[in-house]
Amino acid sequence: MVKVAIIGSGLMGSKIAGEMAYHGHRVKITDNNLDNLNKVFERLQEDRKMLKQDGLLPHDNFIGQVLCLSRLEETVSQADIIFECINEDLEAKKDIFRRISHLCKPDAIITTNTLRLDVTDITEHTHLLEASFMI
C-alpha cells in the first residue's frame, strides 16, 4: 500500500483519488475550496457505480480508503507520492510546491498535472535538494 496525497479535489484530483483507492492505496486529499472537498465522496460514488455497471469493479467498493482533510500538513506529511492537481496558475503552483516540499518526507515523490507550465519554473523554490518530480 502506497500512502498518497492529493492537493486539489476538483475533477482531476477526485479521479486520481478514486484510481489510487481502487488499487488499494490510502489516499488523503485536501483543497482550499471546501465545496470541492465536500463533493469528493459524491464523485467517487458516481465513479464506483459506473465501474460496477461496466463490470470493471468486481466488488462493491474500492480496496483502499480516501480521507478528506482540511490541512495541507496532515495531507502530505507521511505521503509516499503527492499529486498536485490545482488550477493552471504558475504562482499558485510554485507556492504549493514550496509549501509541500517543507512538509513532506524527504523521499516523497511530488507530481504535477500541469498542461502548459514549465515544471522547472514550478519547482524552482522547493526545499528538497534531491526531490523526485514527475509530470
Q: What is the 3-state secondary structure (H, E, C) of 71-120?
A: CHHHHHCCCCEEEECCCCCHHHHHHHHHHHHHHCCCCCEEEECCCCCCHH
C-alpha to C-alpha distance for 21 and 4, rounded to whole angstroms? 9
pLDDT on residue 128: 56
Q: Find, among 34, 32, 40, 35, the residue nearest to 12 by Cα.
A: 40
CB atoms within 10 A of CB 114: 18
Which sequence spans correspond to the domains of the chain?
A: 3-134
Helix, strand, coil percentages in the chain from 3-state DSSP, rounded to 5: 40, 20, 40
| CATH class of the structural domain 3-134 | alpha beta
pLDDT on residue 56: 81
Place of cell 484530483: 13
For 53-82, write each residue's pLDDT tens digit.
888 877 777 778 999 999 999 999 999 999
pLDDT on residue 58: 75
Place of cell 510554485: 94
Contact 4, 81 (CB under 8 A): yes
Task: State pTM to two decimals.
Answer: 0.85
DSSP for residue 2: -
**Ranges of residues in the chain whose predicted pLDDT is under 50:** 129-135
- 1 CB-near residues (< 8 Å, 6+ apart): 24, 25, 26, 64
